């Protein structure tokens, strides 16, 4: 970056640094932190990041800003591009997350890594209109608003070239969002907004950070009604690269809504784990009847095969859905499968042990079986959560 740009940068945010300048150790001229951090979640956006920074630079003249890319270990060279940019321009920062996925959690981590009083979130594929950022900032600086949202649904906003089915799905998701946000926000699915730091601080511990919909999460986690304003923008086509929105995004969305509705009573991951477990029982019975009834294999052999098929099914589906943000691949998948089957085998022993104990003490067979199943599911959930899908992603 040119020296003159740094000078402008320092002048704008000098008020934020007066405390630091009083410190005895601040012998050289301190470089003030920016007033606006723009958080960009990225996953395989190699051919978009340079153009995005160029456009930010163009539209944010006179503003003290930085951009924080939060990248989930892209494999297409995005990281190298961002590092190259960052070496030449200290306004460009990078957080690389390993063994993790998720747009919402990436945005939250980016916001927490900044000290700026104003925080914006924008996609990395240039679909959002970055030219709204200066207006968002000046509206927030007036002091009455908590958050300014880029909306595709207010007058003069549009979905761009979305086909009918995608527009219908987005409208349905917007309607469903009313279950958890009473606000008359027209575009809670928007991923483009700017907020004051205090707004994040007030609700950061209540966020679900599941899936793609961080704005909805912020509104639904609010202890009080947020003062917001929506600005229209026209959703553009992707500049380069491919969409990361897959068929499982709908599942994430339902989990986010469920977490907001019942998460304070029971963890939503546990609900998902139990649903998958129920599906596993059906698979078990199907395989068992195929082997034992139709193929006339011995019962013990059929039961053993059915058990391992059901466990593998459960592991695969939980890896794809319940633990989508920590999903395992390659060797880690195999190691995860081994730990999952070991833990679930102990869970099955506990299940049978508890159920037999209760049955022998004249508890009816149905309550005894349910108690056994509950103990087994809770054990399996609690232990695989720690060992199979550990947060550290090891
Ligand atoms: N860090 C991180 N970023 C992600 C992840 N998934 C998507 N992103 C980024 O989030 C932004 C939005 O994702 P897109 O795939 O463009 O989703 P979308 O805009 O709703 O869908 P399209 O209109 O099809 O592009 C992009 O900058 C992605 O690179 C993820 O798991 N981790
Ligand atoms: Mg996009």
SS3 content of the chain, % helix, strand, coil (to 5): 55, 10, 35
327-370 confidence digits (pLDDT tens): 999 999 999 999 999 999 998 888 888 888 888 888 888 888 88
Residues 6 or more apart whose Cβ sits within 8 Å of residue 259: 208, 210, 268
Mean pLDDT within 295-323: 92
Residues 6 or more apart whose Cβ sits within 8 Å of residue 242: 44
Give pLDDT, residue 97.
Answer: 96
55-113 confidence digits (pLDDT tens): 999 999 999 999 999 999 999 999 999 999 999 999 999 999 998 899 999 999 999 99
110 Cβ below 6 A of ligand 1: no
Contact 214, 103 (CB under 8 A): yes
Give pLDDT, residue 392.
Answer: 59
Mean pLDDT within 193-212: 94
192 Cβ below 6 A of ligand 1: no
Token couple for 338:
């081994």
Q: What percentage of the chain exceeds 70 in pLDDT?
A: 92
For ligand 1, mutation pick of 40, 41, 94, 99 (most atoms within 8 Å of CB)? 41
Token couple for 145:
């608003």
CATH of region 36-262, choose from 1.10.340.30, 3.90.550.10, 3.20.20.70, 3.30.70.2190: 3.90.550.10
* Domain parsing of the chain, residue ranges: 1-30, 36-262, 268-393
For ligand 1, mutation pick of 53, 72, 98, 103 (most atoms within 8 Å of CB)? 103
Q: How, if at all, do strands 36-42 and 147-151 pair?
A: unpaired
Cα 125 to middle of ligand 1, angstroms: 8
To the nearest whole number, what is the mean pLDDT of the chain?
A: 89
Instruction: Tell if the pTM clears 0.75, that is, is over it.
Output: yes
Burial of 62 (0-12, 13-18, 19+ CB in 10 A): exposed
At 57, give phi and psi (nearest 5°): -60, -40
- The confidence band for 17, taking pLDDT boundaries of 50, 70 and 90, is very low
Q: What residues sit around ligand 2, an ion, with C-beta below 5 angstroms?
A: 123, 125, 127
User: What is the rounded CA–CA span in Å between residue 107 and residue 278?
Assistant: 34
Cα 40 to middle of ligand 1, angstroms: 9
């Amino acid at each position: 970056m040119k020296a003159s740009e740094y000078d402008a940068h320092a002048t704008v945010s000098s008020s934020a640094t007066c405390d630091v300048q009083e410190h005895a150790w601040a012998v050289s001229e301190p470089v003030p932190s920016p007033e606006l951090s723009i958080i960009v979640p990225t996953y395989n956006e190699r051919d978009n990041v340079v153009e995005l920074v160029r456009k930010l630079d163009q539209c944010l003249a006179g503003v003290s800003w930085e951009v924080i890319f939060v990248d989930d270990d892209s494999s297409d060279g995005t990281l190298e591009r961002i590092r190259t940019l960052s070496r030449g321009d200290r306004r460009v920062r990078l957080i690389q997350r390993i063994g993790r996925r998720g747009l919402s959690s990436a945005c939250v981590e980016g916001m927490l890594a900044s000290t700026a009083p104003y925080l914006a979130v924008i996609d990395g594929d240039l679909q959002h209109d970055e030219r709204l950022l200066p207006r968002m900032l000046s509206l927030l600086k007036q002091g009455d608003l908590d958050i300014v949202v880029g909306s595709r649904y207010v007058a003069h906003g549009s979905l761009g070239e979305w086909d009918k089915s995608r527009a219908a799905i987005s409208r349905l998701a917007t309607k469903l969002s009313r279950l958890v946000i009473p606000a008359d926000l027209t575009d809670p699915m928007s991923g483009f907004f700017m907020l004051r730091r205090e707004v994040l601080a007030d609700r950061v511990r209540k966020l679900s950070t599941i899936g793609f919909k961080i704005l909805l999460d912020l509104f639904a986690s609010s202890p009080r009604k947020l003062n917001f304003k929506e600005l229209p923008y026209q959703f553009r086509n992707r500049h380069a690269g491919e969409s990361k929105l897959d068929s499982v995004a709908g599942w994430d969305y339902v989990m986010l809504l469920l977490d907001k509705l019942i998460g304070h009573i029971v963890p939503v991951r546990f609900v998902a784990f139990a649903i998958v477990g129920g599906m596993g029982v059906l698979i078990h019975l199907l395989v068992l009847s195929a082997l034992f009834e139709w193929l006339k294999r011995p019962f013990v052999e059929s039961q053993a095969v059915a058990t391992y098929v059901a466990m593998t099914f459960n592991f695969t589906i939980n890896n794809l859905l319940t633990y989508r943000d920590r999903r395992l691949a390659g060797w880690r998948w195999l190691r995860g499968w081994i730990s999952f089957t070991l833990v679930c085998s102990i869970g099955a022993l506990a299940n049978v042990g508890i159920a037999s104990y209760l049955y022998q003490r004249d508890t009816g067979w149905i309550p005894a079986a349910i108690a056994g199943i509950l103990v087994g599911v809770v054990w399996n959930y609690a232990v695989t959560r720690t060992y199979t899908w550990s947060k550290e992603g090891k």
